[in-house]
Each structure stands twice: as C-alpha cells, then as structure tokens.
C-alpha cells in the first residue's frame, strides 16, 4: 500500500517565460469574476448571428475536430481500463472421443496391457473412449500498480483528451473568426461597390460636362481626355470590387459547408458595421489569458508528457501480476451449480526487467525529451498569447482613433457637398464644383467604410486573442450578454 502511494512523475514546473505577464493587464482589470460567452453576439448583428449558426451547423473542419475529440476520449477510456481487473466469463463444453487402440490406449498396449489382460480381470474395454465436460466460470487477471505505471498512463491519456477538447475550441474560434472576417469583408466590399457605382455616375457626369465645354470651346482636349481616363479607371475598379466580393462569398460558402443559394438573402445589400463601434466592456484581466484554448491545450500536453515520464520510470521497476480461472466443471449439465464441482487455478508473477538492449531506458530518455519539448512549447504559447493580446489592444486603440479622424473628415466632406449643391440649385454656384465636391464626399465615405471594416476586424482580433468574449457575471442584470449553457470558453 505504501509503494502504491509513491509517484515517479516529475514535479510540474511552468517555464519562466510563461510567468511573464505585462503589469498593464492587471492594472486594467475590473473587479469581480469573469466568464467567456457567445462572443460573436457582442457585435449585435442578427445577420452575423445567422451566418455563425450556419457555420457551426455545417462546417467540415469543425466536424473533423469533433471526431478527433471523440477519438481522444476513447483513448482515455482505453488507457484507464488497465487500472481495473480483467474478467472474462466463459461457458462451454468439450467433447473428447478417440479409439481405444489410439493415444494412451496404444501406449498401454505396448506395456503389455492388452485385451487379454483386461479380460482376466473381468474388464471389457469399449471400442472407443469418450468424455464430455461442461464448464462455467471466469478468467481473471490483474496487475498491481505499485509504481503507478498504469495510473500515469491513464493520466497522460486524460490530459491528451483535455488538450484535444481545447484544440476543438481553438479550431472553433479560428473558424468562426474566419467566417466573421469574411462577413465583414463582404459587407465592406458591398458598401464599396455601391460607392464605386456612385463614383462612376459622378465621373460620367464630369465627362459629359467636359465634353460639352470642349465642344463649346471653353475646355482643352486634355481636360476631356483626363475626364475619360478617370471614368474608365473607376469602371475598372468597380469590376475589380465585384470580383473580390464574389471571391469572398465563395469562401464563406466553404466555411458554411457548401453552396448556399440563400446567401444573398442572409447577407443584406450593405450590412452596417456600427455595432463594432461600441466600447469593449471595461477590464481585460490577465487571467483571461488562461481561457485561451491554445494555452489550455499546451498546458495539458505538458502535463501529459510529465505523466508519460512517470509511466516510463515505472517500467524500470518490478511488476506483480495475478491471473487465474475459477468456475464450475462437470460432465453433466445438471451438476453445473453444484458447489462441490468448483475448480480454480491461480498464477502469481513477479517480473523484473534485467536486459532489454537499452529499450526501457531509451523510452525514458525519449519521454523526458518530449517533456522538455512540451514545456518549451507551453512557454512559447503563453508568450505568443501575451504578445497577441498586446498587439490586439494596440490595434483596437489605433483603429478607434483612425475611425474618429476619418469620420470627422467624412462629415466635413458631406457638409461641403451639401453646401455646393445648395449654391448650385440657388444659381450662385457652378455645376462642376458640385460634382467635384460630390466626388470628394464619395471618396471620404469610402475611407470611412474601410475604417469601419478595420475597426470591426480589430475588435474581432481582440476577441480571438482573448479566446472569446468577456463579461462580469454580476453585470448580467444590467444587460450584459449572457452565453447559452455549454458555450463558456467558446
């Protein structure tokens, strides 16, 4: 019992790099506990929610990840089964029949025990000897896990199962992020397509105005040619935007599991991205990094490697196993349940490795090297997570500042276009000035649409860097987004 309590697993030590967390994370942490929820709902876009539901329902990569999780769970059960005794009940019969002059009868005949000898004692042998035996019982075997080899192997498989489940959540977040990114791209391209069409119409009016002025002798040919070149360039840009939009829609089909004839209905003509302009909930605590599934997976694989070292060390120690059979045996089925017909056999083996050509020690060296690799991989994953959060926070701040500047520029361009329109309609302004101001307003709107897209992408990057969304559960009553059961951490 004392030996069974021993553990040959090395102590769990996190790499130094994994302990490096910027102080700014903790300084900005909001009080109270936090939990991950259905983070895509924070964009407050019903169309986006429908796209995400379709991806979750039909994406092939998610189906592959789900199958891998099921495989890992099955392997964990298989590894844990070795800790229990093996019982294998059996029931059967054996019918044995041979000629009397064959087998042992022939050997007795060689010793001089022939038919005449038997007859002298009044014994008559039949021509054939036969025996039918019925058996009912169970085989059993069990290895006493003194050194924790089976226990460590089961723990290693369990850690791999947890890592596989975390891999699924990593794939889930990555696939959803790709789908949302494609959705934002389609929204941006459709908005740009509308603006490009409007720009083409304005440039066509400018070309017609230049042609009229040229035929009236008040414009140079270069002005007419320049107006035509600008129109052709805008028309080419419109065609390019249409091609890019078609490509983005085809990529979204793949993420949704195949061609969707109703995709045009799922995606309105120019979805708004205003929901992405909302503030992120206050507080980005450092412990949110722990919910990142890739960090969880790396940690569990390090633990699995640590348990593997314990299992390989235990293989160098002696092992004690017990095996046997117990049951009832009779030549008549009526005596199957007669207690006097019981039988048993028991085997106890104490085995110790002596010489195996260095296989066991090489297995231990291999397990220790895998532990070193998994530890370094865990440290790299944590450092990468910290860097990604830092970059995502910086990108979010920069995108908001850029959007604010461009939004002000767009307001000014709109106000100038409105002023030029009123002056033209009042007869005190030139039509060409109004067209030029309208073109500038369309260009500012295009920059604003790009800034909105970049802002949505920046928020999406922050969600992905933190492994989802975040809330303060105490704020649920004040309107915080609540996740569905079973969706935490996803």
Return all residues near 390 (Cβ < 8 A) that are at least 6 apart.
22
- The pLDDT of residue 238 is 93
Residue listed under structure tokens 């039949």: 126
For 181-335, strand residue ranges (E) read: 319-330
pLDDT one-digit tens code per residue, 182-225:
998 988 898 899 999 999 999 999 899 888 888 888 878 888 89
427 dihedral zone (left: phi>0; alpha: psi -120 to 50; beta): left
Q: Is 261 exposed, middle or buried (0-12, 13-18, 19+ CB in 10 A)?
A: exposed
Distances, alpha carbon 482 to alpha carbons 167, 232, 276, 459, in Å: 24, 51, 18, 19
> What residues pair up with 97 in beta bridges, in sequence order?
130
Length of the chain: 490
pLDDT of residue 135: 80
Residue ranges per domain, the chain? 16-83+145-317+359-478
Distance CA 276, CA 296 (A): 28
> Can you give the pLDDT at residue 124?
66
CA atoms in the 13 A half-sphere facing the CB of 128: 5
DSSP symbol at 322: E
Residue ranges for the chain with pLDDT beneath 50: 1, 3-4, 26-35, 282-283, 472-490
Task: Compute the C-alpha angle 131/137/138, nearest 5°.
Answer: 135
Block residue for tokens 């935490």: 488
Contact at 8 Å (CB) between 289 and 295?
yes
CB-based contacts of 124: which residues, under 8 Å, 6+ apart? 118
Q: What is the pLDDT of residue 96?
A: 74
Decide if 326 contacts 344 (C-beta within 8 A).
yes
Tokens at 307, concatenated? 């348990």
Local structure of residue 35 (DSSP, 8 states) = B
User: Smallest Cα–Cα separation from 407: which of 454, 458, 439?
Assistant: 454
pLDDT at residue number 149: 84
Could you give the 3-state DSSP secondary structure of residue 97? strand
CATH class of the domain at 16-83+145-317+359-478: mainly alpha
Contact in structure between 244 and 187 (CB atoms under 8 Å):
no
pLDDT digits over 263-305, tens only? 666 665 555 555 555 565 544 555 566 678 898 899 999 999 9
Spatial distance between the Cα atoms of 424 and 431, rounded to a whole number of angstroms:
6
Enter the tokens of residue 92. Answer: 């059967």
Closest CA to 143 of 320, 329, 353: 320
Instruction: Kindly list the distances between the CA atom of residue 90 and the CA atoms of 95, 132, 332, 346, in Å, as whole numbers in the listed order.
Output: 16, 17, 17, 17
What does the CA dihedral 288, 292, 296, 298 come to, rounded to 10 degrees? -120
H helix intervals, 256-358: 263-266, 293-314
């Amino acid at each position: 019992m004392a030996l069974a309590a021993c553990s040959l697993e090395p102590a769990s030590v996190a790499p130094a790099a994994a302990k490096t967390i910027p102080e700014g994370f903790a300084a900005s942490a909001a009080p109270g506990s936090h939990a991950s929820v259905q983070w895509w709902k924070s964009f407050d876009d019903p169309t986006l929610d429908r796209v995400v539901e379709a991806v979750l329902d039909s994406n092939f990569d998610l189906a592959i990840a789900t199958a891998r999780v099921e495989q890992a769970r099955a392997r964990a059960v298989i590894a844990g089964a070795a800790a229990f005794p093996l019982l294998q009940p059996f029931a059967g019969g054996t019918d044995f029949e041979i000629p009397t002059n064959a087998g042992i009868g022939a050997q007795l005949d060689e010793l001089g025990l022939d038919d005449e000898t038997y007859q002298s004692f009044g014994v008559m042998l039949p021509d054939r000897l036969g025996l039918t035996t019925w058996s009912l019982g169970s085989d059993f075997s069990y290895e006493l896990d003194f050194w924790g080899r089976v226990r460590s192997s089961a723990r290693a498989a369990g850690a791999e199962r947890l890592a596989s489940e975390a891999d699924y959540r990593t794939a889930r977040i990555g696939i959803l992020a790709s789908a949302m990114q494609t959705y934002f791209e389609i929204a941006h391209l459709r908005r740009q397509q509308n603006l490009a069409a409007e720009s083409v119409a304005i440039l066509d009016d400018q070309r017609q105005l230049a042609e009229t002025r040229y035929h009236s002798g008040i414009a140079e040919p270069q002005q007419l040619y320049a107006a035509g070149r600008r129109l052709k360039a805008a028309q080419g840009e419109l065609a390019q935007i249409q091609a890019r939009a078609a490509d983005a829609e085809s990529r979204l089909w793949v993420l949704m599991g195949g061609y969707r004839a109703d995709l045009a209905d799922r995606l309105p003509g120019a979805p708004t991205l205003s929901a992405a302009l909302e503030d992120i909930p206050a507080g980005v605590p450092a412990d949110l990094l722990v919910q990142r599934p890739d960090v969880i997976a790396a940690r569990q694989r390090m633990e699995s490697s640590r348990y593997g070292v314990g299992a390989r060390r235990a293989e160098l120690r002696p092992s004690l196993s017990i095996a046997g059979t117990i049951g009832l045996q009779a030549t008549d089925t009526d005596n199957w349940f007669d207690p006097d017909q019981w039988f048993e056999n028991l085997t106890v083996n104490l085995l110790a490795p002596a010489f195996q050509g260095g296989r066991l020690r090489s297995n231990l060296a291999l397990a220790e090297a895998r532990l070193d690799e998994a530890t370094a991989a865990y440290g790299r994953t944590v450092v990468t997570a910290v860097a990604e959060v830092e970059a995502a926070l910086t990108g979010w701040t920069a995108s908001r500042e850029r959007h604010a500047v461009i939004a002000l520029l767009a307001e000014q361009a709109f106000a100038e276009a409105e002023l030029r329109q009123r002056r033209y309609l009042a007869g005190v302004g030139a039509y060409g000035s109004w067209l030029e101001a309208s073109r500038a307003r369309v260009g500012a709107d295009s920059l604003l649409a790009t800034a909105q897209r970049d802002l949505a992408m920046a928020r999406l990057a922050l969600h992905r860097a933190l492994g989802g969304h975040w809330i303060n559960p105490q704020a649920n009553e004040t309107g915080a987004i609540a996740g569905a059961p079973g969706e935490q951490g996803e």
